[in-house]
Amino acid sequence: MVELTNKQMRVSSKMNDRMEKNRVVVTGIGVITPIGIGVDSFWKSSMSGKSGISSISRFDTEAYPTKIAGEVKDFNPGEYMHEELANNLSRCSQFGLAAAQMAVKDAGLDFSRIDRNRVGVLIGVGIETLLYYDEKTAIEKNNYTLRTKPPKDNRNASNVISGFFNLPGQSLVGATACSSGNQAIGIARNIIKSGQADFVLTGGVEAPIFPLNLAAFCSLRIMSKRNDQPEKASRPFDRERDGFVMGEGAGILILEREENARKRGVHIYAEIAGYGATSDAFHMTMPSKDRIQICKSMRLAIGDADLDIQDIDYINAHGTSTLANDSGETKAIKTVFGDNAYKIPISSTKSMTGHLIGAAGAVELITCILAMENSIIPPTINLENADTECDLDYVPNKARKKEINAAMSNSFGFGGNNSTIVIKKVF
Amino acid sequence: MKKRIVVTGVGIVSPLGVGIHENWERYLSGISGIKEFEIEGANIRTYAGRVSGPELETYVPETKKDKVDRFASFALAAAKMALADAKIGEEFDREKIGVFIGSAYSGLYSIEKQLQVLYLEGPRRVHPLLMQNNLANAPSGEVAIELNLKGPNVGFSCGGCSGDYSIIQAFNTLQRHNIDAIVAGGTEAPLLPRVFEELGPKGLFQPNSADANRASCPFDIARKGFILSEGAGIVVLETLQSAEKRGASIYGEIIGFGTSYCHNNSENQKNTNFYSKVSCIKQALSSASLDPVSVDYVHASGISGIREDVEEAEAIKSILGDNDRKTPVSSTKGSLGFSIGASGPINIIFSLLSLRKHILPQTNNLENIDPKCTSISILKRSDFRPINIVLSNNFDYAGNNVSFVFQRF
């Protein structure tokens, strides 16, 4: 008999009270980030506080104010797909397909033994069309050194994954810019809860380090220009932060009903317990000053999970390292959690990976899951002097041991959308 | 308990016109929105369905003119129309209305223009509005800002089913979340040289037809592929509870839908595209707990594709069978063309108008039915008949399929 702490009992009994039979759980994870490919490598780097940011190596950044990014250095598409397919796909789709294969393997899914019609694919991608043509054009114009053949398969990343595994179920991309990965997981959970699928491959993917995209973000003056110290550039909540740093990667999760997972006898990482989504309806690229809708997104997710604010043990912040986001998000967390805000460890793992745009929400939810699984919280690195407006516990620079029964991940995107997911430990 | 979801407002921007009645009346009188079209810069003449600028301008807010991408301007116009049609006014709680709009090509106009700027003038000349304007969720964001809608706000992309999937996820979201309505649909502005270049060699659409008025001719023996067009279709999905509480006029209820995806690779067995369409329609009917005989009318996808139209006709036949009722089928692509991500919601709107008005539109440009499509009963002339259940298909050329079943309310 496992002995449960009081808090575990509270969280667990709330789960029983709910009598909800179709709880949705995570049973497989695949991850590609600038600080590691695969769960083990990614987690080891997260624990040691490694930065994945370096000078951009794939095209000439001379004329760009920002010359740094989080590149995935050791990704070999040949490990995951035939050369011909790899040549046809964009880097984004290559990442998505590779991470999906990792997740499928991790979940012990054998598609030949289940009803493929009952498997959906819903992937979050923020800037899919622009990046496809950006990549294609850069290669055609010899302005990119990582590969020589331009991609020619412009199917959505979801269709690429469905096609590879021969899955006829729902297949779509969810796009909400920088929150795409988080939103996709919330919407995928709805698909399972509605009984339209038994499994959904979901998460986020983005390969945004291309010339036009970098120029577009630079023109908004929200990127870090700390080009001489790449590893110090992404510094959420720090007084000296000067903007976000773009990174590339993917996070794919396998969702299924708890009952189904138990029947299969596979490892259950966590329950996707709550999802909240709102819109500022204020401005396409600037957050609204009052943060009302960010607060509401968090409240909705906590309520959807049938939890109270004191039940949240860890928050993975959106924490982009821009001036506006970090102080605003801090303010919103204080509004929602009151005095409790000071007691909850919060970290922004974008300090290590950079901002993975459409993949960020998914990789950060995976971070929450691994933190819960290992009872240890990854740090916010480069936090040397906290901004006076950022006075919460951001787990600066060193990982910290803590038992976590419920965690929350925030993501906010251009277009004024806000998205929050709450996960719970499954006992 | 499952919430019942109904449609209370619709809005269309298409080559036939900007407005519900403009589209319906012009379609029924046999007018085509397909015109000769010169691909900019390529000096090639072809056919396409272009949205009329002056008609569109009356709907796009002054502050947004030339500030948003073309695909977002369509969505702004159609969403405004749909919300007004649903008679949703200031008294409706704005926090309880979401926006889900899909698109396959996103802001390709902005992307193409800024790619040129990048390579001719350098990165520092790239426009600061490029990021917000290119995004697949730009229409959802712009509509939310313009109409002050603070519920969930998402963009979707899935080829020619981008709009349909937005409606499916909106349906699911209304089921699971405490909101009352979602402005949902699709928008597309693909009339750019690059899209013609990409789709042309695949043999999907062949522009060398005899004349513009006959270029798109679903199920006709003379069809040579689909004709690309642009536009937007937006509906207001609302919980029945909310609609009844405010006494809204209801177009119809979503009682079922089905989806399928079939990647058309060489390893696939023969006819997988046909079976995939069958599976899609079957799921739609079974999720609605309906026998095939209950279907009164099929609003077909009928994109005027050489292979696609035959597959769809056979799929409809295999499910509805050769019953005595001769379930009528029609496609509106002859006048509308195929507007990729917007086509599904536009089909849905025509289906809902049929439910409301008891008029089944004819299949424009159908002169000689392809013998391979004669097993179904395709309407050459419009028909006045009371209908209760309509099946609305949207099947693209890349293997994405969605079918909806609507019931008269």
Q: Which residues of B7-22 are buried (b: 16+ CB within 10 A; e: fewer)?
A: bbbbbbbbbbbbbbeb
Q: Catalogue the long-range contacts made by B279-282 (C-beta closer than 8 Å, 24 or more residues apart).
A: B279/A117, B279/A168, B280/B315, B280/B393, B280/B395, B280/B401, B280/B402, B280/B403, B281/B315, B281/B316, B281/B319, B281/B391, B281/B393, B281/B403, B282/B258, B282/B319
For A355-403, what is each residue's pLDDT tens digit?
Answer: 999 999 999 999 999 999 999 999 999 999 999 999 999 999 999 999 9
From CA A351, how far away is CA A349, in angstroms rounded?
A: 5
B358 to chain A nearest CA, in Å? 32
Q: Catalogue the long-range contacts made by A4-12 (C-beta closer than 8 Å, 24 or more residues apart).
A: A4/A427, A5/A403, A7/A311, A7/A405, A8/A405, A8/A425, A8/A427, A10/A311, A11/A307, A11/A311, A11/A405, A11/A406, A11/A424, A11/A425, A12/A427
pLDDT (tens digit, 0 to 9) for every residue of chain B, 409 residues total?
689 999 999 999 999 999 999 999 999 999 999 998 888 777 778 899 999 988 899 888 888 888 999 999 999 999 999 999 999 999 999 999 999 999 999 999 999 999 999 999 999 999 999 999 999 999 999 999 999 999 999 999 999 999 999 999 999 999 999 999 999 999 999 999 999 999 887 777 766 656 777 899 999 999 999 999 999 999 999 999 999 999 999 999 999 999 999 986 545 567 899 999 999 999 999 999 999 999 999 999 999 999 999 999 999 999 998 666 789 999 999 999 999 999 999 999 999 999 999 999 999 999 999 999 999 999 999 999 999 999 999 999 999 999 999 999 9
From CA A404, how far away is CA A369, in angstroms rounded?
A: 9
Is B285 in the A-facing interface, judged by CB distances under 8 Å? no
Check pLDDT > 90 for residue A15.
no
Q: Which residues of A touch B284 (CB under 8 A)?
A: none
* Cross-chain residue pair A284–B141, CB shorter than 8 Å: yes
What pTM was estimated for this model as a whole?
0.96
Structure tokens at A107: 């979940």
B 194-233 near A (Cβ less than 8 A): 194, 198
From CA A278, how far away is CA B351, in angstroms rounded?
A: 31
Structure tokens at A109: 């899914």
Q: Which whole-number Å values give the CA distances from B290 to A35, A215, B169, in the listed order?
A: 52, 53, 22
Give the nearest partner residue to A173 out of B156, B173, B198, using CB atoms. B156
Check pLDDT > 50 for residue A6.
yes
Q: Hunting for tokens 């099929």 — which residue is that? A: B298
B 341-400 near A (Cβ less than 8 A): 398-400
Q: Is A178 annotated in the active site? A: yes
Structure tokens at B114: 């800024």
Give the nearest partner residue to A212 out of B126, B169, B398, using CB atoms. B126
Structure tokens at B87: 């008679």
Query: Could you give the 3-state DSSP secondary structure of residue B11?
Result: strand
From CA B402, how far away is CA B6, in angstroms rounded?
A: 18
For A217-255, what is each residue's pLDDT tens digit?
Answer: 999 999 999 999 999 999 999 999 999 999 999 999 999
Q: Which whole-number Å values give the CA distances from A76 to A48, A90, A160, in the listed order?
A: 24, 13, 18
B 72-101 near A (Cβ less than 8 A): 94-95, 98-99
Give the nearest partner residue to B111 out of A117, A129, A300, using CB atoms. A129
Give the residue-averaged pLDDT of A1-27.
Answer: 65
Q: Hunting for tokens 């050329």 — which residue is that? A: B397
Q: Say how far residue B290 (Cα) sits from the centre of its chain.
A: 24
A375 to chain B nearest CA, in Å? 31
Residue pair A416/A283 in contact by the 8 Å Cβ criterion: yes
ipTM, two decimals = 0.97
A 49-68 near B (Cβ less than 8 A): 63-65
From CA A198, how far away is CA A221, in angstroms rounded?
A: 44
Structure tokens at A408: 């929350």
A 138-177 near B (Cβ less than 8 A): 141, 154-156, 158-159, 162-163, 166-177
Q: Which residues of B142-179 are buried (b: 16+ CB within 10 A; e: fewer)?
A: bbbbbbebbbbbbbbbbbbbbbbbbbbbbbbbbbbbeb
Handedness of CA A183, A184, A189, A195 (dihedral sign): positive
Residue pair A294/A328 in contact by the 8 Å Cβ criterion: yes
Q: Is A82 annotated in the active site? A: no
Q: Which residue of B has its CA nearest to A118?
A: B260
Give the nearest partner residue to A278 out of B111, B151, B165, using CB atoms. B151
Structure tokens at A254: 């396998």
Is B187 in the A-facing interface, judged by CB distances under 8 Å? no
Mutate to test the interface with B, among A179, A190, A279 (most CBs of B within 10 A): A279
Q: Which residues of A touch B175 (CB under 8 A)?
A: 190, 194
Handedness of CA B290, B291, B295, B301 (dihedral sign): positive
Q: Which residues of A touch B279 (CB under 8 A)?
A: 117, 168
From CA B216, how far away is CA B338, in angstroms rounded?
A: 9
Give the residue-averaged pLDDT of A268-281.
Answer: 98
Give the nearest partner residue to A158 out of B135, B158, B276, using CB atoms. B158
Check pLDDT > 60 for residue A270.
yes
Residue pair B366/B334 in contact by the 8 Å Cβ criterion: yes
From CA A135, how far away is CA A207, in angstroms rounded?
A: 9
Give the nearest partner residue to A156 out of B107, B144, B157, using CB atoms. B157
Give the nearest partner residue to B137 out of A137, A187, A417, using CB atoms. A417
A377 to chain B nearest CA, in Å? 30
pLDDT at residue A14 in the model: 53
Check pLDDT > 70 for residue A4.
no
Q: Which residues of B touch A141 (CB under 8 A)?
A: 119
Question: What is the number of CB-based contacts under 8 A between chain A and chain B?
Answer: 223
Check pLDDT > 90 for residue A106.
yes
Is A129 in the B-facing interface, judged by CB distances under 8 Å? yes
From CA A354, how far away is CA A249, in angstroms rounded?
A: 10
Query: Which of B251, B252, B296, B278 has the alpha carbon at shortest distance from B391?
Result: B296
pLDDT at residue B207 in the model: 62
* Cross-chain residue pair A415–B172, CB shorter than 8 Å: no
From CA A319, how far away is CA A330, in angstroms rounded?
A: 9
Q: Is A355 annotated in the active site? A: yes
- Supply the Cα-derived Rg of chain A in whole angstroms: 20
Helices (H) and strands (E) in chain A, counts: 14, 15
B 134-163 near A (Cβ less than 8 A): 134-138, 140-142, 144-145, 147-159, 161-162
Mutate to test the interface with B, among A121, A170, A285 (most CBs of B within 10 A): A170
Confidence at A19, pLDDT banded by 50, 70, 90: very low
pLDDT at residue B323 in the model: 63
From CA B38, how far away is CA B191, in angstroms rounded?
A: 10
From CA A38, how far away is CA B393, in angstroms rounded?
A: 41
Torsions phi, psi of A278, nearest 5?
Answer: -145, 175
Residue pair B349/B27 in contact by the 8 Å Cβ criterion: no
- Active-site choice (A178, A218, A295, A390): A178
pLDDT at residue A1 in the model: 41
Give the residue-averaged pLDDT of A64-71.
Answer: 98
* Cross-chain residue pair B132–A285, CB shorter than 8 Å: yes
The one-letter code for the residue type at B94 is R
From CA A157, how far away is CA A161, in angstroms rounded?
A: 6
From CA A248, how far away is CA A153, in angstroms rounded?
A: 20
